[in-house]
Every structure is written in structure tokens, then in C-alpha cells.
Structure 1
Amino acid sequence: MTKKLPVLLFILFFVATTFAETIKTNVLVVGGTASGTAAAVQSARSKVKTMLIEPGPWLGGEMTAGGMCILEGNKTMPSGVWGEFRSKVNEFYRHQPGFDTSATAPVRFEPFVGAAILKKLCDTVKNLTVKLKTPYTDVKKDGDGWEVTVTIDNKPVTIKAKVLVDATPWADLATKAGAVMTSGFDSRAETGEALAPEKALPLIEDVTWVAVVKDYGKTAHYLMPKPEDYDPSRYACLKGMDINKMLQGAKLPNSKYMIKWGECANSYGITVEDLSPEKREAFYKKLRLHTMGMIYFLQNEMGFKNIGIDDREFGSSDNLPYIPFIREYRRMTGDVRMTLNEIYTPYANNLYRTSIGVGDAGFGQHYEDPEAPKTNYPPLPAYTIPLGAIVCRNVTNLFVTEKGMSTTHLVNASTFYPSVQMTLGQGVGAAAAYCVFFEKTTKTLDVRTIQTEILDYHGMLYSFADVPVTDKYFRSLEQISATGLIKLVQETKGRTAQTLFKPDSVISTADVKPMLMDLYTRAFIWFGRNKPGEQFTVANLLSFICDQTLTDPKSFQMMMQNQWQDVYKFSKPFDMDRPCTRYEFAVLMNKYVNPFKTKVDVNGKVVN
């Protein structure tokens, strides 16, 4: 017995260490970016065991670790996880003099504060494990699930998951997993976008290594050593610019500034090959030196000796952000591809019905290459992002976000924006959790169930500039918008555009008849019997509801008359003969008939 004990201990140790090298989870999110963090939070809140791994030391991706900490996109859409983050930033700085917490103000924060807020948020979520400083090396299929190799404490570890979310800026895992990828300008024939070039072009937007600098006082000299390979001619165009004005536009709390300037400043022309895993680190070194050279130029050639890189913001050797701000790289082929047509003519197809997020970040056009086309985008309205754009077409149980999601080049110029991605990430998390909770795959997604989960956690599927999220029936309007019974209206004024619900406008019969006929088999009989006029009246609405719910008309009319203003708080008085408003129609149809329950597929087609 004594001689066998060491052998037994060895076996037990071997089994224990072998077990420790494999971790099991339901949803694995790779990349603690804006979308990755939101996806992990939502997946875990949906009662699914979730793990989030991030190679770097911070959560937030480019909006924290990349220093992109002034966010103007989605600033009036405080939905879900993005709304929580914005609220916590405002709460942190609310006592600081001059800090703007108004609803329309851009979100400004110090990067380390943003990262700390996200980490604290994740720490409060059950079912969520976060692993920072955890690089990934490989991925392979395991049936419908996944095995991802990572490094934890300098040791290789295998994470087994049912669903994988690639939320990295580069979509490296999705590429290794076999997703079909593309990059650069798509051709007009390929996408059907009138603004796309006639021929595809292998050009992508410039990358920027942001600098967070601090004003150390008018009398301070905070000069830095001359960077390697410094060439002042690279930054000569700055001499014709109003640097003080540019700094004011880049102002952060505590006398800091986010420098993310184009032309000859710290943006840099790039090719897809530059970002390849083999060349990425060498290219990153070049980018960092270019930004260091710009700061040196500002100090020594422009006289801003009091402006220096903040040496307490990041823990990097040169005090620059950990990662660059990448606008695009590779895009996967998804179940659907989001084009400009879904933004400017959303009702030309049915993808609007499958929305899992909203965006309104202005289109960027940053190209060092003078041959790059300049796109004359019309004013941008708030838009929706279809579910199929995050679902990999040829690989099961793989979702892809950030720059890797399935869009055209022209659409990516808005959807890549961090606050848009954080809004979208919540939808990604709900979709991933759906697959696990209902034991389904990405080939059998239930759009309405996923959308309901997003709404349950205060996410946003549609944005209306004329109806606040605090409205008592905001969710009813969201759900009716998803059916197409009421179509949103885009209005352009000068260089701006808005997406409106127009709650007080009246309903015409022509507006709703085609969709009612499509959704309800009894609608044909009702329209034939009642023959509503040009305008759909309150009487028509109540009659249709009674017909679908088999309710006694007189009793229902009496109840509605009593509750019209006391319960529903409708602004117009109860009058059976007047035209029904879009708001009244949405609220009552959603409550009593619930067209939102009608299933649609990933293309938005009604499933009977």
C-alpha cells in the first residue's frame, strides 16, 4: 500500500491538472470591445453561463484601451447597456464644473474611468466570468460548439463553448473558423448601392493611434525626447490649423484632450495587409512612433510646450493607448448584408422587422490615398441593424461584431463606431443566449423572441426623435414598428435628418390595410364588411380589435370611453368618428391584438 501511494497521488494530480486545462461555458465572447462587453453582459443577464476574454488589460476596446473617449454617435439613444454606461459616466463627473450631462451632449470621459466603469458593471452580473490579459491562439469546431485555445497564467487552456462571439476589431477567430471575409469598397453591382463605386476597390479607411494629452499649465515645459525616425515634414500641415480650437473640441475632464486628428496629424494610411496577424505588431510600432512625432512637433514647432502625453492614463511604455482606433479591416459574409438601402429606404425590403439595434453615427471618410472615392452621403437618419448582419452564413453558432459584421464598406463607415457597437452588442448577447437557452443554432433563430429579450432589458430596436424613451407606451411603439403596421418617417432639414414616429398624425386606411391583410386571415372579411373610408377612424380601430379578439363591441366601446384619458392618457378626446392617430393605433393594437407575436424569419418575411 505504501509503495502505491505516490503512483495514486501522481494519477490524481494528472487528472486534476488535465481538468484545470479545460473550461466549459455556454457562450464565449472573445474581445472586451464595446460590443463584446455589452454582448457578454446581456448574455449573462439572460441567465446563460457566459465567459468574456480580452487579450488586453482593459474592457471597452477602442473607446477605452484605444483612447477613443469622446462619443457623439447614439448620444440621444440611451438604450440598455449603452444607456447604463452613459449614465454612469455622467454620474462620475456630474460634480465637475463645466461637465455637460445634457441628453444631447457627446459622452466624454477619461479612458481609465470608462474601463473601470465597464469592469465594475461586469462584476455585478451573475453568470459572467471576465478574463483580462487572456490572449487567444486557436479555434476549432466541436460539433455545433467550439473549442478556443487561450493562454491563462502562461499556460494553454481550452475553453469549450456552445456559442462563439468574435467581438475583436480584427475578426481573427472568425477568419480562422472559416468565415468568408471581404474588405475594401464593394462595387455598385455587388451591393445595389447607388453611392458605391462602379468597380470594387481594395482601399480601407485610415487608422489612428489616439493620444490623450494633458495641459500642465501655461508656464510648464513638458517636453518629450525626440522619437525615433522623427520627420517634421510629416506634420507640416498642422501649421495652418487653429490648434487651440482643435484642442477645445477634443476636451476631456481634468484638463485632458483626446487627439484624433486627420490629414497630417495622427491618422495613417493603411492596407489590409498591414493589419494581417503577421505584420500587425510591426505596423503598430510605426503608428505609435508617428503619433509620438506629432506630439513632439506640437511642442517644438507649434509652441505647445505645456501640452504633453498624460503619463498616468495608460500603463504602456510610451503612455499611449494600448491599441489603435481601427475603422475597418475585414467583413464576414453574413446571413444578410446590411447596405445603405436599409438606412435610406428601409421599407424596400423586410429587414427592418429584424432589428436588434440602432445607430446614427456620422459616416467617416478617412483616406490618405488621394485616389479614394469621396462619397456624397445624404444626411443620415437613425437606422436599424438587422439580426442577420451578425450571423455567419457558412459557420454555425458564430456571431461576429465590430468591423467584422456583415455590412458593405459604405455602411461600415457608421456601424464601426463604438457607441453604435455597444448598442448592437446587447442584441448580439440576446441572440447568443437564445441559442443556448432554447437549444437552437444560428440556423433556427427566432427573431421575435430575441427582440423581446432586448426590450425586456431596456434595449432599443427603433429610434424616434419625436417620442422619448420615457413615454409610457414606448415599448408598444417599438413593437408596432417591428411589424411594419406603422412605418417610420424620415425628414431631412438642411444637412440633418431625423427618423420620426409622428404620434399625432392620423392613420389612413391605405397605410394599414395591406399589412393587416397580410397578418390576419379574418382581415379580408372585416374590410369587405366594414369598408372603412380614406381615414381609419377610432370606430374602425375598435371594431377591428373586437373582430380579432371576439369581444362584444358595445362593452368594449364603453370600457375604452371610460379609460381613454384616465388610463391611456391619450391627448385627444374619445370620439368614435374622428380619424385615429398613429399613437392611439399603436398602443391599442399592441395591447389587444399584439401583431408583434407574428413570427418572421431572419429576412423579415412573415412565417405562417
Structure 2
Amino acid sequence: MYKKLLLLLLFFKCFAGFAETIRTDVLVVGGGASGVAAAIQSARSKIKTILIEPGPWLGGSMTSGGMCILEGNRTLASGIYAEFKNHIRELYKPRLGYDTTTNAPLVFEPYTGAAILKRITDTVKNLTVKMNTPFTAVKKDGTGWEITIMQSGKAVTIKAKLVVDATELGDVAAAAGVLLTAGFDSRTDTKEELAPQNATNQIQDISYLAILKDYGRGIDRTIPQPAGYDATQYACLNNADIKKMLASAKLPNDKYLINWSDCANQYPITSDDLNPENREATFKKAKLRTLGLIYYLQTRLGFKNLGLTDDFKTTDHLPYLPLIRENRRAAGMVRMVLDDIYTPYTRGSQLYRTSIAVGDALPGQHYSIPGAPHINYPPFPAYSIPLGAVVVKEQENLLVTEKAMSVTHLVNSSISYPSVQMTLGQGVGATAAYCIFFETTTKNLKPRIIQGEILDFKGMLMPFADIKTTDRDYRAIQQIGATGLLQGIQKPNGNSARVLFMPDSVVHTAEIKPFLNEIYSRAFLWFNKEKPGELFTIGNLLSYISEMTLRDPKNLQDGIQKTWKTYYKFTTGFDATRPVTRREFAVLANRFFNPFARKVDMSGKFIN
């Protein structure tokens, strides 16, 4: 009898233990901008995916953190970010005054952004989303991982083949023992001319943002005086044009985003302040800084009619988390530096060839502490984000996003922007799906296959502002751009620089000859024989295609001439003596000798 009872108890214990283990292919930890996009893409690539988020909302900084005016990637919206952006604009466009022009910042109320992300994830097959679910432990399991989560007050183990650390602070990477660095890198270390001579542990300030609403003249919404309030901390606002500052951050429904610099709601920190044991105290002080600002605005500057909204269901009505601009960065398979942004085509490594996303956000320099280095960036170009920057070097099947990416401090100040991170998340999701589909690990990634999956879902590899995802030749131009055969052209405008493809400009022989000679052995012979002029003609291109593909020259020309406008939809007439445009060259090169098919390694070098 006792033996039977003991066996029964053991059975139930084993069954219970089995029931507390969940298995999945991909686990994304953190439902911020990058995490939600990574989970969506992984699942859409037909991979079983779980997304866990410790808070009540999806979206991270741009929803739970209140950063709901997005200027980054305004002209580079693609894939999942474009989907999110379109949902926002469709919702708000009936509102009087809502700006839906292409290059306008994306503006929304935080809870609206969170609701739209939930609506999108609810429709994605192969995706399970678990809200209010923190993780508590990380353990390596062969090439996969075991992650312990808290679900309904109980510890549950998730066994995943691959994990994406999309937490705000790189907590999974830290728990897994990944080498992490923080603060300003030294010039000696990164070889960046703009880096300071010496490294420091100073990182950008955090900010508790606030959403205020105009409750109307005569309404007093003054909050109680916060603990430790010091009016002198906000004295720099006495001569500021507050009405102008409010107008520049206006949200729908008479609301305003308070994300002010200098003496306002920035709170200076070092990376040590964001360690798990210090976070609660640090965040409390940052909250008091923002509450003090609101109290000052109401009592000293005369805006009693402005009060906190109930957008966030917190006791103080501030966001669920602060806006964190920077923390510790992981050691990845490659490290992205400023030269990969300013001079991507002239470096020893050609990381743009491994791109999985694009970014177009000005680097932030949010330091309220005196003495922090100020970087005089030249006009900042749009850029490609390399695959190796999200792949942890020493840990298999662990990908990192948000602030934990393998970039330098000077790159991080742009790349951590929420809309850039959402664009990046799609590339990370495609990378995760590649590992599962091909039953391999992050040590054996093939950039071209991953990039093909990203393009299948209207993602973007090259930051060409003048070639939209709706362009009929979008894929061909993206693929040719990712080889470097035709390079993007930087056009400075103020403190930024757009990168253009310029599809209607003509191709110069000098720009394509070095590339063709590098990757095609017979190209050298062709150039010596044909001796094309300064401008590469349509006839030159057809002759080159004939040489590379062994097609009959006359049949090739006759076939292309007949289909020039019907199949290829070129708008200019066919004339073999005319200089070929960059669009025409990209489309025909991509079709007939397809340089994108040439494999590249993680540094962007071609593999023979």
C-alpha cells in the first residue's frame, strides 16, 4: 500500500515537473520595440516563438516609457515598422491637424501604440505572448537555453533553441555571463577620431517622461510638492519659451510629451546606477526629478491647467519605465564603429554587405552633468546595421538588441532609438528563424539567406531614402546596393545626411569597374577588349552580360529591347548608345549576373 502511494506521489511529482516546462524554438525576452518586431518576424517565418514581457504593455520605450514622438527612420519606414506606422496614421488621420506627410515624425498616445502592437501580435500564427512575465534565471542547455520565468506566481522553465535578449538593459546577456562594457570608449580602442582620448563610465542620462493634458483655463491640476523638491534645479526654464516647447511636443487629444533636456527631467547616471541592486533607488530619484519639474511648471511658471493624464495606471501617473538611452554593450562577432556609418565603402571590412536593418536617427548627447564630453558630429548619415552586431561572440544562439548591441558608445547614441530598434528587430527575427529552419547555430550564419528573408517581408537593407518599398524595382536595387556594385550617395542637409540611390542618374565606368574586376575573373578581359568610355552605356551592359552569361549578343539585345517597357517597365526609350541609368543597371545586373548571389562572410568579404 505504502509502495503504491509512494509511486503515485513520484508520478505526480514527475508529471508536475513536466508540466512546468515549456518548449519553443525561439524565445524573445523583452517586448520593447526590437523584441516585439523580432518575435513577429520569427513567427511569420513559420518558427514557433514565445515573447515574454515583464510589464503590462508591448513597445518598451515608445509606449511604456512614453517616448511617443518618433523622428528616427521617418523616410526609411519598412517592414514591421512601416506596418506599425501605417496603423497609427490610419487611426489618427481623421483628427484635425494630424500630420501624415511622409517625412513627419510619428506621433501617438502611448497606450494607443501599445494597443496596436497587441492587435498585430494577436493575429500572428506561431507566436505566444506572455505579459507581466519577468525572467529570473538563465542557464545554458547544450546549444540552447533554459530560461526561468515567473508566471502567475510560479516558477516555470522555458527550453528554447535560441534566445533573443531584447530587454531594455541587456539583462539576459548579463545573466549569461557575456562580456559587457559601458560608457565612452577611448580613441585608442575604437580608432574613432571623434572618441575622447580616455574611456569613462559616463553614460547618457535617463529620463522619466511625462504626458500632460490641458484641462482648460481655470482648472487647477497642481500635484502635491514632491519629496526633496528644490526649485533651483529648474531655474534654467525661467527664460524658456514654455508655450513653444509644449507646442513642439503636442500629442493628439490636447496632450503634451514632456521630454525636456538640461535642467528639466534628465537624471544623470553611470552604468553602475543601472545594476539590478541599484535600479529601484535610481528610478525613484529620476521620478522625483520629473515630478519636481511638473510642480515647478504648475506653481512657478503658471501652468496649473496642465496636469498628468491617466494614460499610465501607476500611482504617480508617470510611465511604467524611464527612457533609458544607454547601458552595457555586449562583445559581438563584429563591433560597429562610426566609420561604418560615415565611410562604409572604404573600410577593410564591408559590414554594410551584411546589413539586416537601417537607421536614420541623429545621435543623442543627453548629459546634464558638467564635464561630459560633447561630440561635434559632422552631418550624420543614414546607415546599415550589420548582422554581426547582434550576434554574441562567446555564446551560441544568443542574439542581443536594444542597448546591448555590439557597437561603440558613439554609434549607440543613434542606434538605440526606438524606431531604429523596431526596424532592427525584424532583422533579428529573421536571423533567429534562419538558425531554427536550417537546424544550425549563430556560429554558422549566412548573411545572404537572412537578407533574402528580410526582403521577402519588405524589410530594408540599404538606407536609400529615394527608393520606397513600393517601388517596382525595390528588391533589385536593395540587392545591388548590398553588394556595393552601386554605392549610396550621401547628401548632407544641416546636421544629418540622407543616403540616396539616385536611380535616374547615369552609371560611370569608374564606379563599377573595380567591383566587377574583383568578383568576376573574366571582367578584366572584357574591360581590356571593350574599353568602355567614361559613361557606361546600355550597349556596354548588354555586352558584359553576354560575356558573363555566354548568351548570344544579338538575341540578348533583341529580347531586352522588346521587353524594355512591357516587362521591365523602364520609362526611357531603349537606345544601346545611351548611358545606362542606375535603375536600369541595377535591374538588369540583378537579373542576369546577380552579384547578390555571391556569398559574404560576417565581415562582408566575398567568399569564393
Equivalent-residue separation in structure 2 for 1:176 and 1:5 (angstroms): 42
Equivalent-residue separation in structure 2 for 1:98 and 1:260 (angstroms): 22
Equivalent-residue separation in structure 1 for 2:281 and 2:538 (angstroms): 68
- Find the counterpart in structure 1 of residue 49 from structure 2: 50
Equivalent-residue separation in structure 2 for 1:520 and 1:128 (angstroms): 43
- Find the counterpart in structure 1 of residue 505 from structure 2: 505
- Find the counterpart in structure 2 of residue 99 from structure 1: 98
Equivalent-residue separation in structure 1 for 2:58 and 2:493 (angstroms): 38
State yes or no: 1:314 paired with 2:320: no
Q: Shift of the alpha carbon at 1:13?
A: 3.1
Q: Classify the secondary structure of the residue corresponding to 2:539.
A: helix
- Find the counterpart in structure 1 of residue 234 from structure 2: 235
What amino acid does structure 1 have at the position aligned with 2:419? Answer: S
State yes or no: 1:556 paired with 2:556: yes
Listed one character per residue, the Cα deviations across residues 130-152 of structure 1 (whole Å, up to 9, x for unaligned) are 11111111101111110111101
Listed one character per residue, the Cα deviations across residues 323-360 of structure 1 (whole Å, up to 9, x for unaligned) are 00011010111111111101110112311101111111
Q: Shift of the alpha carbon at 1:511?
A: 1.4
Q: Shift of the alpha carbon at 1:12?
A: 4.5
Equivalent-residue separation in structure 1 for 2:411 and 2:302 (angstroms): 40
State yes or no: 1:328 paired with 2:326: yes
What amino acid does structure 1 have at the position aligned with 2:236? Answer: C
- Within-5 A mapping of 1:120-159: 120-159=119-158
Equivalent-residue separation in structure 2 for 1:8 and 1:360 (angstroms): 63
- Find the counterpart in structure 1 of residue 85 from structure 2: 86
Equivalent-residue separation in structure 2 for 1:201 and 1:4 (angstroms): 65
Contact 2:76 2:464 survives alignment (8 Å) = no
Q: Shift of the alpha carbon at 1:592?
A: 1.6
Identity %: 58
- Find the counterpart in structure 1 of residue 272 from structure 2: 273
What amino acid does structure 2 have at the position aligned with 1:95? Answer: P
- Within-5 A mapping of 1:331-480: 331-349=329-347, 350-480=350-480
State yes or no: 1:225 paired with 2:224: yes
Q: Classify the secondary structure of the residue corresponding to 1:325.
A: coil
- Find the counterpart in structure 2 of residue 607 from structure 1: 607
Tell me the C-alpha RMSD between the 2 structures: 1.4
Equivalent-residue separation in structure 2 for 1:470 and 1:129 (angstroms): 30
Q: Shift of the alpha carbon at 1:228?
A: 1.7
What amino acid does structure 2 have at the position aligned with 1:129? Answer: T
- Find the counterpart in structure 2 of residue 285 from structure 1: 284
Count of residue pairs the alignment pairs up: 606
Contact 2:185 2:199 survives alignment (8 Å) = yes
Q: Shift of the alpha carbon at 1:8?
A: 6.4
Listed one character per residue, the Cα deviations across residues 271-315 of structure 1 (whole Å, up to 9, x for unaligned) are 11111101101111111121111111111111111101102x011
Contact 2:34 2:166 survives alignment (8 Å) = yes
Mean CA deviation greater in 241-250 or 521-530: 521-530
Contact 2:458 2:469 survives alignment (8 Å) = no
Q: Classify the secondary structure of the residue corresponding to 1:346.
A: coil
Q: Shift of the alpha carbon at 1:169?
A: 1.3
Equivalent-residue separation in structure 1 for 2:523 and 2:262 (angstroms): 59
Q: Shift of the alpha carbon at 1:99?
A: 1.1
What amino acid does structure 2 have at the position aligned with 1:395? Answer: Q
Q: Shift of the alpha carbon at 1:11?
A: 4.5
- Find the counterpart in structure 1 of residue 185 from structure 2: 186
Q: Shift of the alpha carbon at 1:162?
A: 0.8
Q: Classify the secondary structure of the residue corresponding to 1:370.
A: coil
Equivalent-residue separation in structure 1 for 2:495 and 2:403 (angstroms): 26
- Find the counterpart in structure 1 of residue 514 from structure 2: 514
State yes or no: 1:294 paired with 2:278: no
Listed one character per residue, the Cα deviations across residues 34-91 of structure 1 (whole Å, up to 9, x for unaligned) are 0000000001111111111111111000100000100000011120010000000011
Q: Shift of the alpha carbon at 1:527?
A: 2.7
- Find the counterpart in structure 2 of residue 119 from structure 1: 118
Mean CA deviation greater in 487-496 or 158-167: 487-496
Long gaps (5+) in structure 2: none
- Within-5 A mapping of 1:65-84: 65-84=64-83
Equivalent-residue separation in structure 1 for 2:525 and 2:247 (angstroms): 64
Q: Shift of the alpha carbon at 1:4?
A: 8.1
Equivalent-residue separation in structure 1 for 2:589 and 2:172 (angstroms): 44
Equivalent-residue separation in structure 1 for 2:226 and 2:189 (angstroms): 45
Q: Shift of the alpha carbon at 1:14?
A: 2.4
What amino acid does structure 2 have at the position aligned with 1:235? Answer: Y
Q: Classify the secondary structure of the residue corresponding to 1:347.
A: coil
- Within-5 A mapping of 1:523-542: 523-542=523-542
Q: Classify the secondary structure of the residue corresponding to 2:466.
A: coil
Mean CA deviation greater in 535-544 or 118-127: 535-544
Contact 2:451 2:461 survives alignment (8 Å) = yes
Q: Classify the secondary structure of the residue corresponding to 1:527.
A: helix
Q: Shift of the alpha carbon at 1:365?
A: 0.7
Q: Classify the secondary structure of the residue corresponding to 2:380.
A: coil
What amino acid does structure 2 have at the position aligned with 1:364? Answer: G
What amino acid does structure 1 have at the position aligned with 2:507? Answer: I
- Find the counterpart in structure 1 of residue 171 from structure 2: 172
Equivalent-residue separation in structure 1 for 2:329 and 2:431 (angstroms): 19
Q: Shift of the alpha carbon at 1:520?
A: 2.1
State yes or no: 1:23 paired with 2:29: no
Equivalent-residue separation in structure 2 for 1:521 and 1:147 (angstroms): 49
What amino acid does structure 1 have at the position aligned with 2:442? Answer: T
Equivalent-residue separation in structure 2 for 1:120 and 1:19 (angstroms): 32
What amino acid does structure 1 have at the position aligned with 2:336? Answer: M
Equivalent-residue separation in structure 2 for 1:494 and 1:240 (angstroms): 27
Listed one character per residue, the Cα deviations across residues 465-484 of structure 1 (whole Å, up to 9, x for unaligned) are 33333211011100000111
What amino acid does structure 2 have at the position aligned with 1:406? Answer: S
Listed one character per residue, the Cα deviations across residues 554-596 of structure 1 (whole Å, up to 9, x for unaligned) are 1111111111123222232211112211111101011122111
Contact 2:221 2:304 survives alignment (8 Å) = yes
Equivalent-residue separation in structure 1 for 2:406 and 2:346 (angstroms): 19
